[in-house]
Amino acid sequence: MVKHQHALYSSTRRQGNLSDWQLYRRLLSYVLPYWYFFLFSLLGYLVYSLGNVLLADLMQFLLDSLTESSDVAKGIISGLAYRFFDGDQMGKLEFARIAVPVAIVLLTLTRSTGFFVGTYFMNHVARHLVHELRCELFNKMLAAPSAYYDSHSQGVLISKITFNVEQVAGAATKALKIIVRESLTVAALLSYMLYLNWRLCLVFLAVMPFIALVVIVVGRHFRRYSRRIQASMGDVTQVSNESIGAYKEVRIFGGQSQQQERFAGASEYNRVQSLKLALADALSTPVIQTLLAFALGALVWFALSPDILAGFSAGSLVAFLTAAGQLGKPIRQLSGVQSVVQRGLAAAEDIFAQLDQEEEIDQGKHMIGRADGDISIVHLSFTYPGTDTQVLQDVSLEITAGQTVALVGRSGSGKSTLVQLLARFYPIVDGEILLDGVAIEQYELANLRSQLALVSQQVTLFHDTVYNNIAYGMLSDATEEMVLAASESAYARDFIEQLPRGFQTMLGDDGGGLSGGQRQRIAIARAILKDAPVLILDEATAALDNESEHRIQRALDAIMVERTTIVIAHRLSTVERADTIVVMDAGRIIATGSHTELLAQGGLYAQLYYQEFTD
Ligand SMILES: Nc1ncnc2c1ncn2[C@@H]1O[C@H](COP(=O)(O)OP(=O)(O)OP(=O)(O)O)[C@@H](O)[C@H]1O
Ligand SMILES: [Mg+2]
């Protein structure tokens, strides 16, 4: 399990090939449209951090008002207070007794307003960033080519949309706020200290390079662990997803312990990596604090030296030390938020790698209203991307508009592959498929697909009402009569009306609560409702009893007249009446003809047909 994890990790690592700088720039491009909110937020936090400085300055006001001598340099607030109010008349202490409390309240009010503005607008920006990233990622998945889904696990993809995006959210909301606010505070405090006594301040600044070093080294570790945590979350989601979806198989085949082991393995890996991250996190803050303590100690040592003391009033010395002491909190917060930032960056790396994946090729421009339905397949050979067995070999076939063609052949002979290529689920490399004489690549993808209605071998239903499952997607504007008629033709209306809430019954995930045959009939109704010029039925009635199949067949007969229909069926009795029957074997067409012709030839078709009846 752990080995597998490492493989996963290394694949994430390879994807994250953006440099940090590119990463920041790209993240910034999402923030840019909201620059004015960002600016508001900055202003708010600026006010907030200046407020912090002025609190230190207020200490000076307070302390200096206790000493009688009047020749000490005034601080910022006391200077302002004396400028605007005639304090000298009432004596220093009395003046301070009024001015300091008023200043405290005013200062806190301003500071709080700054905090509010800063926090709210920063969240505004960050939430937009997250929303856009998430939607982009989702849209990307809707546009991903089939090969992408063949090679990625569902759980891992889901975890990218849920977990990874949330990691960016954490960095964008919590971390960004802290970074902006606390850096401004640090900058303001340092400037204030420089202003009070720049030489003393340099003593303090001497530890900064060490702190920076710690931050950088720890940051690298954070990023590495974050990537692994992410990959393990993908695995956790994957195993849960699979176990939930296949809960019956798990139980019948006694797979619980196997699933548990896989899950525990993924979760354990996650635990170890999270703990490593926590270790680095827990270590870095005390180290930084110790460094700060050294700086503060040195500061006091120098500050109390007689030379320097001479230039300070008691008030300004306390103000200086208060400011220096106040630096501890923002620096601690800044170093503490590193792990969140690195998690976010690792996630952003992965998200951007996803966003940079190729989409389905859609370069065709040809658009038509309603196709006639002539299909020609010309010397088509096909190998699934990433594999090396040819599953279709030199297939050529002419289907005239309005014909019904049946594809038959053993399992794995390439029947489904052929119709998937027609719908352009995979790009054709070798040979051609033409619809109405135009190569399918030349059509605009959506236009091409609008000409096809497909009932695929694995029926998929959505977590929605029966009605919406039939009138799905582009069919959602169909009238109720049309939906009812389509379900009638699919021989589905009777059973739907007997459901607890009829057409408005909610289906569970992927049609949970329905029988296999019922699900198939809903899928057929959906395809009939689409009323496309080309109808493809891939084992569409395989789950039905003979009677239902017979009735659907009769309804379909009427529908098939007006369109080209491709029927794939294992039960040969259902395709007897097709205009042409195409027999496939191992990726090749080995015979074509009508039912009687093929039987007369006595080849594979006859063999399969008689087998069916002797069984
Ligand atoms: N997504 C895929 N990636 C790689 N190989 C695939 C993929 N789908 C199918 N194949 C392979 O292509 C071959 C043809 O499969 P296809 O699904 O077209 O068979 P079929 O004739 O529809 O069979 P069945 O009657 O069982 O549905 C099989 O050998 C299968 O293993
Ligand atoms: Mg198939």
Same domain, residue pair 309 and 390: no
If you measure from the C-alpha of residue 571 to the centroid of ligand 2, how many angstroms do you get, rounded to a whole number?
Answer: 13
Per-residue pLDDT, 87: 66
Query: Where is the domain boundary, 323, 355, 387?
Result: 355
Q: Low-confidence residues of the chain, pLDDT below 70?
A: 1-18, 68-72, 87-88, 310, 615
Instruction: Tell me, in angstroms, the distance from the centre of ligand 1 to residue 325's CA.
Output: 70
Q: Does residue 273 sit in the same domain as residue 415?
A: no
Q: In this structure, are 92 and 183 located in the same domain?
A: yes
Q: Please tell me the pTM assigned to this model.
A: 0.80
- Residue with the smallest CA separation from ligand 1 atom 30 is 412
Say if residues 160 and 351 touch (Cβ distance below 8 Å): yes
Give the domain extent around 224. Answer: 2-355
Same domain, 559 and 520: yes
CA nearest ligand 1 atom 19, residue: 412
The CATH code of the domain that includes 342 is 1.20.1560.10
pLDDT at 422: 95
pLDDT of res. 72: 67
What's the CATH code of the domain at 391?
3.40.50.300
Judge if 423 and 347 occupy the same domain: no
Q: What are phi and psi of 539, to 5 degrees?
A: 55, 40
Measured in Å, residue 64 CA sits from the centre of ligand 2 at 89
- What are 41's two structure tokens? 């937020």
Number of domains into which the chain is organized: 2
Say yes or no: 476 and 561 in one domain. yes
Domain assignment present for residue 108? The answer is yes
Domain stops at, among 325, 355, 385: 355
- What share of residues in the chain are helix, strand, coil (percent, to 5)? 70, 10, 20
| 384 in the same domain as 318 | no
Provide the CB-side half-sphere exposure for 203 (13 A, CA): 19
Residues 169 and 303 in one domain: yes
Q: Is residue 464 part of a domain?
A: yes
Q: Residue 564 domain-assigned?
A: yes
Q: Do 156 and 229 fall into the same domain?
A: yes
For atom 17 of ligand 1, the residue with the nearest CA is 416
Indicate the residue among 304, 322, 355 that finishes a domain. Answer: 355
Give pLDDT, residue 14: 40
Q: Which residues pair with 588 in a beta bridge?
A: 585
The beta strand positions in 476-517, using DSSP E, are none
Q: Which ligand is nearest to the CA of 417?
A: 1
- Nearest bound ligand to CA 411? 1
Atom of ligand 1 nearest to the CA of 414: 18
Of 566, 584, 578, nearest in space to 411 by CA: 584
Q: Which atom of ligand 1 is nearest to the CA of 539?
A: 27
- Ligand showing the shortest atom-to-Cα distance for residue 407: 1
Q: Is residue 370 part of a domain?
A: no
Residue ID of nearest Cα to ligand 1 atom 31 = 412
Atom 18 (ligand 1): residue with closest C-alpha?
414
Nearest CA to ligand 1 atom 16: 414
Residues 310 and 381 in one domain: no
Q: Is residue 365, in this structure, part of any structural domain at all?
A: no
Which of 580, 575, 586, 536 shows the shortest CA–CA distance to 410?
586
407 alpha carbon – ligand 1 mean position (Å): 14
Write out pLDDT tens, residues 322-347: 888 888 888 888 888 888 888 999 99
Same domain flag for 351 and 419: no
Inside any domain, residue 369: no
Do 497 and 394 share a domain, yes or no?
yes
> Is 361 domain-assigned?
no
- Separation of 458 CA from ligand 2 center, angstroms? 9
Residue 70's pLDDT is: 63
Confirm whether 53 is domain-assigned.
Answer: yes
Pocket lined around ligand 1, Cβ cut-off 6 Å: 150, 384, 387, 391, 411-417, 457
Taking the CB of residue 349, how many other CB atoms lie within 10 A of it? 26
Three-state SS letters, 25-66: HHHHHHHHHHHHHHHHHHHHHHHHHHHHHHHHHHHHHHHHCC
Number of residues assigned to the chain: 615
